[in-house]
Structure 1
Amino acid sequence: MAANGAPTELTQGYRTKGGIGESTLRPDGTLKVTGEFAYSSDMWHEDMLWGQILRSTVAHAEIVSIDTGEALALPGVYAVMTYDDLPTEVRHYGLEIQDTPVLAHGRVRHHGEPVAIVAADHPETARRAAAKIKVVYRELPVLTDEASATAPGALLIHENRDDHHIGHVPHPNIVHRQPIVRGDADAAARRADVVVRGEYYFGMQDQAFLGPESGLAVPAEDGGVELYIATQWLHSDLRQIAPVLGLPEDKVRMTLSGVGGAFGGREDLSMQIHACLLALRTGKPVKIVYNRFESFFGHVHRHPARLTYEHGATRDGKLTHMKCRIVLDGGAYASASPAVVGNASSLSVGPYVIEDVDIEAIALYTNNPPCGAMRGFGAVQACFAYEAQMDKVARELGMDPVEFRRLNAMEQGTLLPTGQRVDSPAPVAELLRRVKAMPMPPERQWESSEGADVRQLPGGLSNTTHGEGVVRGVGYAVGLKNVGFSEGFDDYSTARVRMEVVGGEPVATVHTAMAEVGQGGVTVHAQIARTELGVTQVTIQPADTQVGSAGSTSASRQTYVTGGAVKNACELVRERVLEIGRRKFGSYHPAWANAELLLEDGKVVTDGGEVLAGLADVLEDEAVEVEEEWRHRPTEAFHPRTGQGDGHVQYSFAAHRAVVEVDTELGLVKVIELACAQDVGKALNPLSVIGQIQGGTTQGLGMAVMEEIVVDPKTAKVRNPSFTDYLIPTILDTPTIPVDVLELADDNAPYGLRGIGEAPTLSSTPAVLAAIRNATGLALDRTPVRPEHLTGTST
């Protein structure tokens, strides 16, 4: 491998079909689009029972009593379990802070919290049994915002906190606090010619993945359990599950089953422990499948946020300072809130050069639904606010908003507010230039000579407008996202690669614990193996815990880290195969001698067939297998008072231009186009790259104009736990998404690649809001935008 991570002469000269840089098709693609793919909810086992969870009907209450008698008496019921039936003293779990009870004990802290679990011989019997469990609650006051959570005398969501964040927060109902201070923001503010302030609200969003949570637990003969589960992080699940079951980790064997999307919502546990408990209690396989209603309560959501910002600038357009305070609502349990706070604070300036900053980000404990990881977490909320600020400052200065951004854009070598220097390409100005230069879509398409198309109008097929009051708006935004786990986390992955001859042909087998959740990792791993080993046949084994951890499929890290592990293992396999070849043939096998020279002297192979023949001869009677961990360069924790530290490993950038049509009388919005320019470092699979960018863009569109979990501020109950009332974009809402891909290699990354999956979710939301503001002249300081915000009827 070249020093900068680029392919060696081997892979440049001899390009195995289906290798790095090609748009190879997904092996699961046809099955998914034809409905034949086996998701976790499709699993079946002989003599299987069905599990059901009873959830709290109130958000905050003492549990006075639980009566399970009627449920147990129902024919077909095999087990009913409450907190008191748990087998060990370990009865809580969590990603970082173990504050979440397996089943509620003493009190419930949010609407929909699991209270009891049931196993029965039919799913309807299990539901009926759960409904017969009688729980008596004594309701308590609900804490739903910062004022109520930190008020003098406020109830503590968790009375006996002992996590490592408690010493750095001003109140026990604050999960985590991260300030970042650099320079003197107050002094810089006095030098500014223009100072602009804004307060913004970002709504709670659901991951809304295709397949609700599901899994199957099968008791094993050795007293352990086999768990087949749709998740994002097998080994993190294992670490949390085994202590609750009272089993060593090697007796909890986990296998990834078909995952219907994730977006962060499967990073926390859902029914994993519940299914295993019921299987071990009954001695029978137990399957649990949430319906959509349960799914809204069964996983964490995106943190809603209040963000207060101040920016200053000189008359010639240079930013002088920034102050901000970000309040994230983490809900009843910690989940990933500390990491979300770290991201929100460290990325709150965005992709701009500002030397003097005063930043504070906190996450609250409240009685609202728990919030944790979701695509772009922390950075998404911040981007919405700082991009609105950029438009405000540009307007005050009378400058073009894109040129104002380009004037202040960071670049390679920029020193971030955390003190970390950006040491890889940061083409912010270029991305803005490119996206602005893209051709604009035609205006008033519904009036084209080819005839009216109602789908081009706001309101679409509902036919609610005919265009009399429709106004066009254009808006821009750009975002900054970190890649990989940060703040000193030991972020690594493991890959096992085996090379052998099967049927006279060399075959590579790749085994990792990476969760394929739709991002296309199984495709990329095969491409890497073909590229590094010169083979055409690659088998990807199912992900499980029989191989070392691959970490989470989140933070845009899997291609970087697990791809790096696969590449590293392939290189070691290749070296060992070459050594076997040297030992067997020396220089007597022409094809093998050629391949050996290729690696040592940079010669270019032009006849791949000869190399494959050489491989087959070398491995005719033996196989080579390597399991290797791979780590990116280390990061460090941010200082708890100043926020200084090299906290992130890599950054990604995307810019969007949104074009919208708004019916200003009815408050209807049609997003016509969301053009995107993004630097991906190296497009390992160009087709997948475009898919990731378009998918992330569409998710940002949903956040802009329709998606929000609505929580009653008086009761902390979820008002809209269904797709009837929680709206997500359909194909009719999705605009044209032209993409301009830039490839500027990061010398520290495998193949120079850059994580891509999250960046487009950042900038698409504020671009749409900017376009709507441009069309209407309204301030629009919250997301999602609703019709009443555009017609002046909101209260």
Structure 2
Amino acid sequence: MSDLVQTAEPRQDRHGGVGDSAVRPDGTLKVTGQFAYSSDLWAEGMVWATTLRSPHAAALIRSIDVSRALAVPGVHTVLTHDDVPGAKTYGMKVADQPVLAIDCVRYEGEPVALVAADDPETARQAAKLIDVAYEVIDPVTDVTTALEPGIRPVHADGNLVRHVRIRHGDMDSARREAEVVVSGDYELGMQDQAFLGPESGLAIPTEDGGVELYVASQWLHKDLEQLAPCLDLPPEKVRLTLAGVGGAFGGREDLSIHVHACMLALALGRPVKMSYNRHESFFGHVHRHPARMRFEHGATRDGRLVYVKARLLLDGGAYASTSPVVIANASYFAAGAYSVPNSEIDGFAVYSNNPPCGAMRGFGAVQSTYGCESNMDRLAAALEMDPLELRLRNAMTTGTVLPTGQEVDGPAPVGELLGIVRDKPVSNGAGGRAGPGPLPGGSGNTTRASDVRRGIGYAVGVKAIGYSGGVDDISTARVTLSEAAGEPNVAIHTAAAECGQGITTVQSQIARTELGVSNVVVLPADTRIGDAGSASASRMTWMSSGAVQGACRQVATEVLDRAARETRRPATDLALRDDMVVDRFTGEPLVSIARLVPADPIEGEFEYRHRPTEAIDPETGQGNAHIAFAYCAHRAVVDVDPELGLVRVVELAVAQDVGKAMNPQAVEGQIEGGSVQGLGLALMEEIQVDDQGRVRNPSFTDYLIPTIADVPPMPITMLELPHPDSPYGLNGVGEPPTLSATPAILNAIRDATGLSLPRAPIRPSDIALSAEAPRR
């Protein structure tokens, strides 16, 4: 269990209200296997669909012949780009991605044609009979040369998605002032979101010529915005409902089966189900951008940072997706969680014929934090200073000015978080177990205890919460209070996507807190209610809490007004508690809430907005781009067998400011989950793409993710430092742990081995076969 350092109001028992570890309404169903995920959907008369995908990363399409596929018994239709009824392309930020490939393919796995049949196996076999004549061309796969003159453009406008340029302070003076300068080149591999539920959904045509789509998603209204034009339908004829989501982590922000299933349903006039298998899922969603980075830090001899210079190169793959904002986010925080008076940062996102990359937990800040924190340890070594002391000496505080020129407001406890992980006792990691299990070789017993070296590493990260750079952000909620069987009932309707992070539970907690009603139901999220925004950027709890709180308070005002008339007391003397209106001062029950709404339900609807942000200046990168910041620090303890290159994370201590722990157990789970994804990126998770743009490991057999055997003890400390602008003082919690976990582990391995290890994830050969490794 975690330590919770409370600096906010003490908790009260609210029977599952704000601040309680409330039980998740979907929890029992999920652990017993009864929860209905999107892949479990079924409708009378439905047919199954599959996608024919390109085997090439770069090729021209000379012809497509579907006649053999159409002749297969049980096949209902085969569609190509000619059958797209509306806009031929879509995209999160740039509409550059074809619904189905038109005249060329730009990555392995690009959708080329669709088949609908009586059953999935018939559809798959028929798809193999579609004859596509490809003229294969040389792919662009090396992003280090993608912007050079003479390189073939992946898109007509060239291979640059976006260049973010940030200039802050006086770099000429800074270089003269710096007494110690270190630089390093760092590389990060392509990580997959590895959610357990592959892409799936069910499209059902409606009598008015429209379509209903039940789909696993992170942002229903953004899906609708892209989907309706491709179907050539007005938005009011396209209704999306959130189906059960088996994890997301950014991989469900982009469209997958959406247009394809709806096209087929409209063409056939009957329900169509699509469900990817695991292999197809690796080609059906975006991944984390692989990165090449160069960092240069300048400091005085006593360890005061003078400047940071960084060059970031992110491979966006074949289509833009969210690359323009991912590279912006990476660049915003390239100086790390430190006070740095001068900076020169250039971030480039580029097109290639590699798999498309987009949103993944941490959204660019993972890449730049890894580079910055790795170079901070290199700077500490050059200064002959303890790496933690260097971090503490330069830790960001409230009032620190970022490289973008924005002054940090709200709590900024970077030094405090680092101090907490420093002071935690170090576990031996064995957990009372005997035998070889705790050693780097695990139960394989390949490591001798005498060969093991221990290392300790630190890292800290900062990330913006919510949308940045002038993008408006809203969330809408409708709350209805009614009566049934003599009991008050609350229904909450939002479009907030429950991806496993617990937003459904939090909404219920807020209603119980604000309205004092125990029986609360959260209605299915769909596009009949206003936009809730994306379940990303660690924003959903903040934004939806504001919307639900606002709607509940509208309802509460009406309830108290009715109670005031009923009791002939001032509304200001009344409160809502335990399904009753009570005396605010004595707690005396006065009238049941149900009695006040027997035939006249009360409804409140509220649109919550955060304070405005600014787009950064394109030349200098200056601007108040963010609404809030969140921070997390890790201390990693590792054991390494340098001769075999084996690593075991012994412990991963975490400290994070959560603002207000709306549901402490759920927050702890978010911190654990983000830390484990960071561990995976440090040691094992990488989509391997060869120089022809082919994915070599599209399965959970070959794409390795941490298991419970890889997860170390994880002592967690949560600070509750209320943010002044948010509902209940809460802060986003989902992404920050992913930022600092990876570099903390890498720094610990470097500490144990003395190797520079500039690339993650670490492979055994990087240690055992390193030219830097001492030889016996």
TM-score range, shorter chain: over 0.9
Counterpart of 1:662, as a letter, is: V
Partner of 2:41: 43
Establish whether residue 247 from structure 1 lines up as the match of residue 233 from structure 2.
yes
**Residues 133-177 of structure 1: CA deviation (Å, up to 9, x unaligned):** 011111112111334422323222221x5xxxxxxxxxx311011
CA distance in 2: counterparts of 1:264 and 1:249, whole angstroms: 24
**How do residues 104-183 of structure 1 correspond to structure 2 at under 5 angstroms?**
104-159=101-156, 161=157, 172-183=158-169
Instruction: Give the aligned residue type for 1:244.
Output: C
Query: How far apart are the structure 2 equivalents of 1:464 and 1:40?
Result: 43
The reply on whether 1:776 has 2:773 as its aligned counterpart is no
Alignment partner for residue 72 of structure 2, among 61, 71, 74? 74
Specify whether residues 158 and 606 from structure 1 end up closer, same or farther in structure 2 by C-alpha distance, changes over 3 A only: farther
For residues 65-102 of structure 1, give each alpha carbon's deviation from its aligned partner in whole angstroms, at most 9, with x where no partner exists: 111010000000001000011112x1100111000000
Give the whole-Å Cα distance in 2 for the aligned partners of 1:740 and 1:570. Answer: 31
Q: Among 439, 457, 462, which residue is 2:444 paired with?
A: 462
Say whether residues 1:766 and 2:746 are aligned partners. Answer: no
Task: Please say if 1:660 is aligned against 2:638.
Answer: yes
Tell me the distance in 1 between the aligned counterparts of 2:678 and 2:672: 10
CA distance in 2, matches of 1:13, 1:268: 39
Report deviation, 1:431: 0.2
Amino acid at match of 1:456: P
| CA apart distance, 1:353 | 0.6
Task: Return the match for 2:293 from 294, 307, 310.
Answer: 307
Q: What's 1:168 paired with?
A: none
Distance 1:793 1:76 in 2: 57
Instruction: Measure the CA separation in 2 of the matches of 1:274 and 1:657.
Output: 46
Residue equivalent to 1:57: 55
**Which of these residues, 174, 183, 208, is aligned with residue 222 of structure 1?**
208
User: Does 2:304 align with 1:318?
Assistant: yes
Name the amino acid aligned to 1:639.
Answer: D
TM-aligned CA distance change 1:452 to 1:18, over 3 Å: closer
Cα distance, 1:572 vs structure 2: 1.1
What's the TM-score once normalised by structure 1's chain length?
Answer: 0.93
- Does residue 380 in structure 1 map to residue 366 in structure 2? yes
Distance 1:396 1:606 in 2: 65
User: How many Å apart are 1:182 and its aligned residue?
Assistant: 0.7
Q: Tell which deviates more after alignment, 396-405 or 285-294.
A: 396-405
**Alpha-carbon distance between aligned partners in 1 of 2:569 and 2:730, rounded to the nearest angstrom:** 36
What is the DSSP-based 3-state SS (H/G/I as helix, E as strand, rest coil) of the residue aligned with 1:456?
Answer: coil
Match of 1:98 in 2: 95
1:285 aligned to 2:271? yes
Residues 42, 403 of structure 1: alpha-carbon distance in 2 compared, 3 angstrom cutoff: same
Question: Residue 400 of structure 2 aligns with which residue?
Answer: 414
User: Are 2:539 and 1:530 aligned?
Assistant: no
AA aligned to 1:42 is D
- Relative to the length of structure 2, the TM-score reads 0.96
Aligned amino acid, residue 275 of structure 2: V
Q: Name 1:739's counterpart in structure 2.
A: 716
- State whether residues 206 and 709 of structure 1, in contact with CA within 8 Å, keep that contact through their aligned partners in structure 2: yes
The CA RMSD measured in Å over matched residues stands at 2.1
The answer to whether the 8 Å contact 1:526/1:540 transfers is yes
Distance 1:605-1:230 versus aligned 2 partners, 3 A rule: farther
**Alpha-carbon distance between aligned partners in 2 of 1:348 and 1:605, rounded to the nearest angstrom:** 52
Name the SS of the counterpart of 2:228 in structure 1.
helix
Q: Deviations over 1:370-390 (max 9, x none)?
A: 000000011000010110111
Is this contact kept in 2: 1:178–1:345, CA < 8 A?
yes
State the Cα distance separating 1:605 from its structure 2 match: 4.7
Indicate conservation of the 8 Å contact 1:665/1:791, yes or no: yes
Quote the Cα distance in structure 2 between the aligned partners of 1:7 and 1:307. 38
Corresponding residue of 1:607:
587
Aligned with residue 682 of structure 1, among 654, 660, 667: 660
Deviation at 1:794, TM superposition (A): 8.8
What corresponds to 1:573 in structure 2? 555
CA contact (8 A) 2:573 2:583 kept: no
- The Cα offsets for residues 108-130 of structure 1, whole Å up to 9 and x where unpaired, read as 00110000001000100000011
In the TM superposition, 1:267-416 aligns within 5 A as: 267-416=253-402
The aligned amino acid for 1:303 is H
Q: What letter matches 1:528 in structure 2?
A: I
Amino acid at match of 2:530: G
Match of 2:682 in 1: 704
Report the 3-state secondary structure (helix = DSSP H, G, I; strand = E; otherwise coil) of the residue aligned with 1:770.
helix
CA contact (8 A) 2:57 2:693 kept: yes
Partner Cα distance (2:574, 2:505) in 1: 29
TM-fit CA distance, 1:419: 0.9
Cα deviation code 1:184-222 (max 9, x no counterpart): 223212211100000000110000001100000011111
- Paired with 1:762 and 1:533, the residues of 2 have a C-alpha distance of 37
On the 8 A contact 2:317/2:354 being kept in 1, the answer is yes
Q: Percent identity?
A: 56
Report matched runs for 1:521-600 at 5 Å: 521-587=503-569, 594-595=574-575
Contact 1:482 1:652 in 2 (8 A): yes
Counterpart Cα distance in 2 of 1:646 and 1:300: 29
Deviations 1:392-432 (A, max 9, x none): 11111111111110110010111111111111010000000
The secondary structure found in structure 2 opposite 1:587 is coil
Aligned partners of 1:525 and 1:214: how far apart in 2? Answer: 26
In the alignment, the residues of structure 2 paired with residue 13 and residue 605 of structure 1 have an alpha-carbon distance, to the nearest angstrom, of: 18
User: Number of paired residues?
Assistant: 763
Contact between 1:14 and 1:606, CA under 8 Å: does it hold in 2?
no
Deviation at 1:502, TM superposition (A): 1.7
Assess, with a 3 A threshold, how the Cα gap between structure 1 residues 218 and 606 changes in structure 2: closer, same or farther.
farther
Report if the CA contact (8 A) 2:678-2:742 is conserved. yes
SS of equivalent to 1:339: helix
The one-letter amino acid paired with 2:207 is E
Which of 18, 31, 34 aligns to 2:32? It is 34
Q: How far apart are residue 535 of structure 1 and its match?
A: 1.1
- After the TM superposition, list the runs of 4 or more consecutive aligned residues in structure 1 that deviate by more than 4 angstroms: 11-15, 602-606
Which amino acid in 2 is paired with 1:368? N
Which amino acid in 1 is paired with 2:119? H
1:580-600: per-residue Cα shift (whole Å, max 9, x none)? 333455339xx9953399xxx
Listed one character per residue, the Cα deviations across residues 599-631 of structure 1 (whole Å, up to 9, x for unaligned) are: xxx9845537x26x3422322331111221101
Q: Is the 8 A contact 2:183 2:294 kept in 1?
A: yes
Determine the C-alpha separation between the residues in 1 that align with 2:292 and 2:630.
24
Q: Any unmatched runs of 5+ in structure 1?
A: 1-5, 162-171
Letter matched to residue 696 of structure 2: R
The question of whether the paired residues in 2 share the 8 Å contact of 1:13 and 1:605 is answered with no
Deviates more, 1:576-585 or 1:180-189: 576-585
Tell me the distance in 2 between the aligned counterparts of 1:773 and 1:7. Answer: 36
Look up the match of 2:707.
730
What's the counterpart of residue 3 of structure 2? none
| Aligned equivalent of 1:164 | none
Distance 1:322 1:575 in 2: 52
Amino acid at match of 2:352: T
Whichever residue aligns with residue 151 of structure 1, its letter is E
Distance 1:79 1:353 in 2: 61
> Does the residue aligned with 1:655 lie in a helix, a strand or coil?
strand
Partner of 2:244, secondary structure, is coil
Distance 2:235 2:771 in 1: 54
* Residue of structure 2 equivalent to 1:263: 249
Kept after mapping to 2: 8 A contact 1:81/1:117? yes
Conserved 8 A contact 2:210-2:233? yes
Counterpart Cα distance in 2 of 1:706 and 1:298 = 22
Whether 1:238 aligns to 2:224 is: yes
Change (3 A) 1:576 1:204: same
Q: In structure 1, how many angstroms separate the alpha carbons of the residues matched to 2:661 and 2:586?
A: 24
- Give 5+ residue unaligned stretches, structure 2: 1-5
User: Structure 1's 24 and 606: CA in aligned 2 closer, same or farther, altered over 3 A?
Assistant: farther
